[in-house]
Structure 1
Amino acid sequence: MAEHLIPDHQETPLRTHWHALSKEQIEHVLQTGVGGLTDAEARNRRAHYGPNQLPPPKRHGPLQRLLMQFHNILLYVMIGAAVITALLGHWIDTGVLMAAAVINAIIGFIQEGKAESALDAIRAILSPHATVIRDGRWREIDAAELVPGDLVTLASGDRIPADLRLVKVKELRVDEAALTGESLPVEKCHEAVVINAPLGERYSMAYSGTLVVYGQASGIVVATGTATELGEINQMLSSIRMLSTPLLRQVDRFGRTLALAILSMSAATFVLGAWWRGQPPSEMFMMVVALAASAIPEGLPAIMTVTLALGVQRMARRNAIIRHLPAVEALGSVTVICSDKTGTLTRNEMTVQHVVCAEHVFNVGGVGYAPVGNLSIDGRIIDPDHYPALAMAIRAGVLCNDARLREEDSLWRVEGDPTEGALLVLGEKAGFTQHVSYEAWPRLDAIPFESQHRFMATYHRDSDDEPWIFVKGAPERILDMCGAQWSHDGERTLEINYWRRMAADTAAQGLRLLALACKRASPLGGCLSFTDTESGYVMLAIVGIIDPPRPEAILAVRECHHAGIRVKMITGDHAETARAIGAQLSIGVGKPAVTGAEIAMMDDATLRRLAWDVDVFAQASPEHKLRLIQALQEEGQVVAMTGDGVNDAPALKRADVGVAMGMKGTEAAKEAAGMVLADDNFATIVSAVHEGRAVYDNLKKFILFMLPTNGGEVLVVIAAILFELALPLTPAQVLWINMVTSSTLGLALAFEPAEYGIMSRRPRPPGEALLSGFFVWRVLMVSVLMMICALGLFLWELNNGTSMEAARTMAVNAVVAAEMFYLVNSRFTLASVISLDGLTGNRYVLLAIAACIPLQIAYTHAPTMQAIFNSTDLTQLEWCKVVAAGLFVFSVAEFEKFVIRHSPLAARLNK
């Protein structure tokens, strides 16, 4: 066969329309038939299309990934300072600076790039083998050898090896949840469907990577490798660049600004001292290096890592497993959560909620597969035995059923169709246990459910040896078989309009409908046949079934709204079902549900407006989900996206925080996500948001503590130079202060518990700077306070005749004491710490202070330290002055909080 006769389905529009072509058209276009392809034809096509595989991703080498971690302005400054201190022989300082830089790079190297594994996970779900007709004979081949035009057979349990146009179907049901998000297996057929059918409704197609759960079929391969739906997702995933988290963007901006400020300050200090005040250039150069090293927040990478790691541990205890450290904080800045429905917001356990009989509508309590709950009418609990139609309907649902309900390790599970399982749970609630019912009413024959007939029938005999035939199926089909209805006092003429109205009302609530009917008769031929299902049945009930919302998800959505976070539901289910579940969860109430087909028709500008206004999106494909995430991000939102299927992987990777399901999620989804929910529970996301906000608070508290510390030292030196005073601190003493406080005090704030009311705040603006105007004020105020304490005490002692060594020793201790007291202040940004909880609520703060005190005592009184740093002993009175200096900073900082709390500014800062 000439290759030009084979359409390049990777380019032609027909690739997306295979579902709309007839079997004859498919065979003509692909030049194939019942005998399949010859080996020669298959080789030609494989040379044209390539193997049925997904290409591996491009990866950076380990060395390149490691070097990329040093591409950070603060690390450049830190490494530069380390080189200068090394040239000057200050090896301890060099070691501290280089260790901070290397540790930061190693952590980034370990965490970076893990999402590339998502592409490996997608390739892993491809079927390894396929049963195909070649040269007129069936054979099993490597799935990578498949080409368009091959005729493939499918059986229950098979992983579909390529995109197939089905040409022969026998009760085929395919689990497409990983591709479409549809929670139930999809019934397939061989008839063509409309050309604009969404992916989940292309019933004549079977897609690569999905799973056959029931039945048999054969189909013609129409797409392989990257041209399959799965391949498109793979290409989409590989083209998506993971976004930096809000914190990393803020830290990057902060680092650039701070680096510029440090270099400017260092140059100005050198000019002031060496050229204006005549200080020795060598001494001023060393002082500038010391101040620059002090001003560089080398503790920031370490404190970020520790704070994020602690957040990871706390989240893990709440069933949220973090895969990428920055995702911890990103959760705290989320403004929108886009959530899958099935299993995340809902239980993924079909539950009967309503039973509509001829005279009553019964409500069914309880959710999920656990058989706990009552039946009621208008809130009044009833006994099913007192309502003959209800009792017989429940019995019919239990007997006309192929599923099994089992309890394992205190958990109830359904084996078989989830909808049939819901009927068994209803039976258990009403006392109709399946095993006992089968013993009393043994099944003698059955007609299994078939999509073209839309019902299932079973033949039984009761304990009195009376024959019964039960049917269940689509309401309109069952109504066609009925001529009567079962009422409280026996059979009556069927009121067809009543049943149609009740079916419409129940369906409008987003419930799936099943009708149940019976006939007291034996099969005409002894065995059950379709002749026995034509007429003569008595309508028993219409059952409304739904996958109910998780109770904890309802509370969690409410908490999100309280925290200023919008929750949007994106699902593969139908629009009415999505709207009904959304209403129960308070998502999108009073608003329309937008379908994927409608999204596909919108331009980007329209979608940006709609993405914010609408909260429920139904029948969404991977492209639709990705466009929605991008539209929200373009509107300035920080987006978390939940998902479990391969179809969710691109959106999970693109989102600021991708959240995958741990229990039912595919490996592709987990690898693309930054966080995995071990319990598949939406409420866990809200807990993680709480932890994320606490992490960000602690990082800000550390920066608010660290910058005044460094700023105070800088102001002390600059003030001394400006006023032609003796330098209160030597370069070595500056480095000592920086080293001892960074290694002991600041770390304690990483362990700070969340402040009260943290989930009552609005999400912080995505473009917010790490240091707001208020923070700049706080940093300047405390820096000036520390300068006043250190410089004031230094000058006072010199004026009283104290030696230069003692005055400098007191200045060093005054700075450190001020930092100790200010550490306690820093526990709460605005709230007062003058309480038992404020002073003792974080034991790590007390431990840090307790560790710092011996270091300062050794610095002051140990002969070795006196020789290195030129320090000297202090008297008890001098130590009291040092403590008083620290108390001064503490008192003024608490007074400033008091003033702000009682001013209009407090309301804005607490938003």
Structure 2
Amino acid sequence: MNRSAPAERLHDLWNNTNGLDAAQVVERRATFGPNTIVAESPSGWLEIVRSTVSDPMIWFLIGTAFLFIWLGDLTEAAVLGVALIPIAGMDAYLHRRTQASTEGLRARLASQARVLRDGHEQDVLAEDLVPGDLVIVPSGAYFPADGLIQSGDALQADESTLTGEALPVRKAPLGLRPVGTGSVTVDGEHWGMAGTRLLTGEARVVIALTGAETLYGEIARLSRATQVDRTPLQDAIARLVQILLVVALLLCVILAGIRYAQGYGAVDALLSAVTLAIAALPEEFPVVFSFFLGLGVYRLARKQALVRRAVVVENIGRISCICTDKTGTLTDGKLTLNNAHPAEGLSDNELLAIAATASRAETADPLDLILLESARASNGKVEAVFPFTEDRLREVAVLRSPKGNCSAAMKGAPETVIGMTTMSEEKRDLWRQRTQELAASGHKVIGVAIRSLQDWSGEEPETGFDFAGLLAFSDPVRPSVADAVREAQDAGIRVIMITGDHARTAAAIAQEIGIGAAEPRVIDGKDLAAHLDRQEARIDFDVVARCTPSQKLALVQALRAKGEMVAVTGDGVNDAPALRGADVGIAMGERGTRSAREVASIVLLDDNFATIVGAIAEGRQLFTNLRLSFAYLLMLHAPLVATAALIPLMGYPLLYLPIHIIWIELILHPTALLVFQNLPSQGMLSHRSKGNRLSFFAPREWLAIGLVGTLASAVILGGYILNLGETVDVPHARSMAMASLIIAGSAITAALTRLGSRSAWIATVAPVLSAFAAIQIEPIATVLHLSPLHPIDWVIAVFGGVIISAGAAFLHQRQDRSTPDAKLFKEG
């Protein structure tokens, strides 16, 4: 939970025990706005009502009820009117659930805050807080904004809202205020976050971030934005719905004409057509997908991955290759100076002094800061600095001493520095060999050189340097990275490390964390372009060393051209092209620049590679659940539509009346939306099957869905026709068909969910109980145009459900062995 604090906002306020004065509050409120973390939604219930009445089922019921009133059948009209209540209620509940991830956040926010202003304690509305306010947070209260803890003893906080971790987190005061002119990273133990609660102690907190800038506010904003974003898969589903709708309408017209020609009359023809239209309308698919999309944003945020674009929820589970930075992602990002190897005639301190002279504090580069802390730069005036760039691989500072003499201090990549010195080739080879040895042990190595300038022309000196020695730094690997890399590779995800380090250093780090084979395959950045230009060349390397931003982008484009779904990590402005060019761009939240965060689709809150793997696992589980939900809808829609069309076309009395379609919809909607999204996670990444499919299901999975749908249609159709009998007992035949359909639906639910949650048990058992009660209780059966079944009828229906569940279970086994592939709906 480390975060960047804007140091300038806290200037001269850290040790101020009186708080802001009235003028400062007014000025800061005008600058930063109110502390509105989650905006109120005044039209929330109006939006729910609007969404509810847009359900075609509502208007189907209303229109059919008026049809029965026109026919004089007031009892049937009343039944349909009463049926409006559960249908509308269910719609309102489900629409409310889709808003819960955003609106529910408000319950975790402080509405009041105790603040010190003008030296006096006062209670104010939380939204009136401004950056710089000194807030007193008592035990049991929520932090009203994101702030740095100034004082407090034995502090513990509940951060489960943001992290999902239930255990208390220790908090400690920050000893010194953040120093600098920009953003300064502060360890998470010193932060009090909006939406989290102080469990023990009393804390004084200096507010740093308010409103949408807080972590809580960013999650809420992203959740709201996701509801209006559209993704390629969402567009594909919308087109599918449009096609099915046109086909359904054509079938309805044909069915109505045939029924009328068969002599059943205009009312029967109209009812059969309308019933088929509602049964065939696949409105659940876009609703279910949108619901899962919003759910994904919330779950990934709990995994420390903030989603900035909805499409990433669709893509994250299909990642097949991760191109990751080394520093700060695979490693801690905290360099330490391990060894100094000065040239002959120089001491360690003299070597460090030359390197410090070629360093600048204003860059905030960790390596420069270490050198400036380790040694004092040479005295004199800096005349010019030729900065380090990705293509130059060196930094040169020209210094004029108090006596007026000029000299140039240089540090940079050892091979570059050595090549610009006056050493003999034999000595150059010795220092290159020592560089290789240090790099092979996982060290980041820089070379240092110096040159006297007699008549400096103002240009950068490029030759004539005296070699001063080598400095070796190390950046420890994060403890969780090796396990995360192994988990990703075991699941079929390629991991390619991209770094600016020396090839030997990169290979040593890659070998330590297990990237690639026992001996990681390394390619140098300068050789990458030639390798990628060969069309037949395979991208079979594990590490790219000395890589520039343009080379990183070229690698991403080449991987995507070969069908990989690529995730890229980055933190700097120079990473922006690769982040934008990837399928999933992942910016670092702690040390990433604003440019990187703006173009990325995910922002990591902890800059940890393990978080990427956890997000992919969550995305794959979510996508697997979505596929199971769609499979459920297809398996039940197929027999529903088939029997709604075939029975009237064969000249038999109508099987489904409007009230029966309502009954089925009351089962379909909550099961597809609520049960499958709640399936338990497998915990680990599942393996990605080989090959790139362009369909939502594999051919064998489509075959299983088709067989289950056909089998269910045969069971329902056979049960209806065989039970009509010579006397044409329609209520009894209809009861048998409805019992078979509902039991089949419960069997499919049980097989696909494996009864892995309480909601799965309810969705399996409740429909069967409703069928038994509606059919066997005669007054209810009469209203529903049914009649009680014999025990043998129920046995036959249950036996059919068992057979159907076997086919659905086969599909779930296929789901376990496969996860979304790289090109799955990639282009919509």
* TM-score normalised by structure 2 residue count: 0.57
Is the Cα contact below 8 Å between 1:336 and 1:637 reproduced in 2? Answer: yes
1:674 aligns with 2:611: no
Q: Within 5 Å, which residues of 2 pair with 1:296-445?
A: 296-352=281-337, 418-419=366-367
Return the offset for 1:628: 4.5
> Could you tell me which residue of structure 1 aligns to residue 804 of structure 2?
889
Alignment partner, residue 438 of structure 2: 506
Summarize the Cα distance change of 1:787–1:574 in structure 2 as closer, same or farther, 3 Å threshold: same
Residues 107, 890 of structure 1: CA spacing in aligned structure 2 closer, same or farther, 3 A cutoff?
closer
Which residue in the other structure is 2:493 paired with?
565
Aligned ranges 1:218-257 → 2 under 5 Å: 247-248=233-234, 251-252=237-238, 254-255=240-241
Query: What SS does the corresponding residue of 2:675 show, helix, strand or coil?
Result: helix
Equivalence for 2:771: 856
Structure 1 residues 452 and 420, CA gap change in structure 2 (3 angstroms)? closer
Q: CA deviation at 1:680?
A: 0.6
Instruction: Give the structure 2 partner of residue 843 of structure 1.
Output: 758
Aligned equivalents of 1:757, 1:400: Cα separation in 2 = 46
Please tell me whether the aligned partners of residues 79 and 101 of structure 1 are also in contact (alpha carbons under 8 angstroms).
Answer: no
Look up the match of 1:813: 739
Distance 1:696 1:514 in 2: 46
Helix, strand or coil at the partner of 1:348: coil
Q: Label 1:94 to 1:818 Cα distance change in 2 as closer, same or farther (>3 A).
A: same
The 1:785–1:584 alpha-carbon spacing in structure 2 relative to 1, beyond 3 Å, is same
Equivalent of residue 639 in structure 1, options 562, 566, 573? 566
- 1:822 pairs with 2:822: no
CA contact under 8 A between 1:327 and 1:675: conserved in structure 2? yes
* 2:712/2:744 contact within 8 Å kept: yes
Deviation at 1:808, TM superposition (A): 1.5
Contact 1:594 1:614 in 2 (8 A): no
What is the CA–CA distance in structure 2 between the aligned matches of 1:798 and 1:269, rounded to whole Å?
Answer: 21
**Compared with structure 1, are the counterparts of its residues 101 and 622 closer, same or farther at alpha carbon in structure 2 (3 Å cutoff)?**
farther
- 1:552 corresponds, among 480, 492, 499, to 480
Tell me how far 1:694 sits from its aligned partner.
1.4
- Cα distance in 1 for partners of 2:323, 2:234 equals 22
1:733 alignment partner, SS class: helix
C-alpha distance in 2, partners of 1:678/1:764? Answer: 33
Letter in 2 for 1:418: P
Verify: 1:592 aligned to 2:523, yes or no: yes
Tell me the residue number matched to 1:791.
717
How far off its partner does 1:689 sit?
1.4
SS of equivalent residue, structure 1 residue 567? strand
SS in 1 for 2:686: helix
Matches within 5 A, 1:746-757: 747-754=674-681
Structure 1 residue runs without a partner (length 5+): 1-68, 70-74, 112-155, 160-174, 178-241, 360-388, 403-414, 426-433, 435-442, 458-470, 480-494, 518-536, 828-837
Paired AA for residue 279 in structure 2: S
The 3 A distance-change label for structure 1 pair 739 and 274 is farther
Deviation for aligned residue 1:544: 1.8
Rounded to whole Å, the distance in 2 between the matches of 1:664 and 1:317 is 20
Distance 2:564 2:444 in 1: 35
Name the CA distance, whole Å, in 1 between partners of 2:349 and 2:263. Answer: 99
Amino acid in the other structure paired with 2:616: V
Distance 2:233 2:356 in 1: 54
Q: What is the number of equivalent residue pairs in this alignment?
A: 587
How far off its partner does 1:686 sit?
Answer: 1.3
Once residues 522 and 584 of structure 2 are traced to their aligned partners in structure 1, the CA distance between those partners, rounded to angstroms, is: 26
**Distance of 2:370 and 2:696 partners within structure 1:** 52
In 1, are the aligned partners of 2:307 and 2:602 still within 8 Å (CA)?
yes
Is the 1:100–1:301 contact (alpha carbons within 8 Å) kept by the matching residues of 2? no
Sort the Cα spacing of 1:496 and 1:288 in 2 relative to 1 into closer, same or farther, 3 A: closer
Q: Distance in 2 between matches of 1:445 and 1:693?
A: 53
After superposition, what is the alpha-carbon deviation per residue over 1:623-659, rounded to whole angstroms, capped at 9, x for unaligned?
A: 6555544444344332222222334345434432222
1-structure distance, mates of 2:816, 2:417? 66
Which amino acid in 2 is paired with 1:318? K
For the pair 1:694 / 2:642, whether they are aligned, the reply is no
The one of 748, 772, 778 aligned to 2:704: 778
Aligned-partner SS, 1:760: coil
1:481-526 superposed Cα distances (whole Å, 9 cap, x missing partner): xxxxxxxxxxxxxx99855642454357774446899xxxxxxxxx
Quote the offset at 1:699 in angstroms: 1.3
Structure 1 residues 255, 568: CA separation in 2 closer, same or farther (over 3 Å shift)?
A: farther
**CA pair 865-454 structure 1, distance change in 2 beyond 3 A:** farther
User: Does the 8 A contact of 2:624 with 2:819 survive in 1?
Assistant: no
SS in 1 for 2:525: strand
Paired AA for residue 315 in structure 1? L
Counterpart residue identity of residue 644, structure 1: D
Report SS of the residue matched to 1:725.
coil
Per the alignment, do residues 706 and 97 of structure 1 end up closer, same or farther by CA in structure 2, a change over 3 Å counting? Answer: farther
Give the aligned partner of residue 132 of structure 1: none
Change (3 A) 1:668 1:897: closer
**Kindly tell me: are residues 774 and 254 of structure 1, through their superposed partners in 2, closer, same or farther at Cα, counting changes over 3 Å?**
farther
| 1:761 alignment partner AA | R
Match of 1:661 in 2: 588
The amino acid across from 2:524 in the alignment is A
Give the direction of change, closer, same or farther, for the CA distance of 1:576–1:296 in structure 2 (3 Å limit).
farther
SS at match of 2:322: strand
User: Which of 664, 681, 696 pairs up with 1:737?
Assistant: 664
RMSD (Å) for aligned C-alpha atoms: 5.7
Partner of 1:606: 533
1:574/1:618 contact within 8 Å kept: yes
Q: Do the aligned residues in 2 keep the contact of 1:393 with 1:516 (CA within 8 Å)?
A: no
| Equivalent residue for 1:652, pick from 566, 579, 596 | 579
Q: Distance in 2 between matches of 1:419 and 1:340?
A: 17
Separation in 1 of the partners of 2:565 and 2:230? 11
Using a 3 Å threshold, how does the CA distance of structure 1 residues 592 and 477 change in structure 2: closer, same or farther? closer
Q: Which residue of 2 aligns with 1:66?
A: none
Distance 1:454 1:327, change over 3 A: same
Q: Which amino acid aligns with 1:335?
A: S
Flag the 1:282–1:776 CA change in 2: closer, same or farther, 3 A: farther
Cα 1:891–1:335 change in 2 (3 A) is closer
Following superposition, the deviation at residue 583 of structure 1 comes to: 5.7
Distance in 2 between residues matched to 1:714 and 1:316, nearest whole Å: 39
Give the % identical residues: 28
**Contact 1:578–1:593 (Cα < 8 Å) also in 2:** no
State the Cα deviation string for residues 725-748 of structure 1 (Å, max 9, x = none). Answer: 333322431332133232246631
Shift of 1:264: 5.0
Deviations 1:831-862 (A, max 9, x none): xxxxxxx4x43222102234434543554467
Q: 1:454 to 1:751 in 2, by over 3 A?
A: farther
User: Does the Cα contact within 8 Å between 1:644 and 1:666 map onto a contact in 2?
Assistant: yes
Deviation digits for residues 411-452 of structure 1, max 9, x if unmatched?
A: xxxx98634777899xxxxxxxx9xxxxxxxx9997599775
Note the C-alpha offset of 1:292.
2.6
3-state SS of 2:316 partner: helix
Provide Cα deviations, 1:798-848, integer angstroms capped at 9, x if missing partner.
Answer: 338694223313321221111111111123xxxxxxxxxx4x432221022
Q: Structure 1's 269 and 100: CA in aligned 2 closer, same or farther, altered over 3 A?
A: farther
- 1:547-584 Cα shifts (integer Å, max 9, x gaps): 34435334433333332223334456677765665565
Q: Aligned partner of 2:478: which letter? A: R
Choose 1 or 2 for highest CA Rg.
Answer: 1
Does the aligned pair in 2 maintain the 1:337–1:639 contact within 8 Å?
Answer: yes
CA distance in 1, matches of 2:689, 2:798: 39
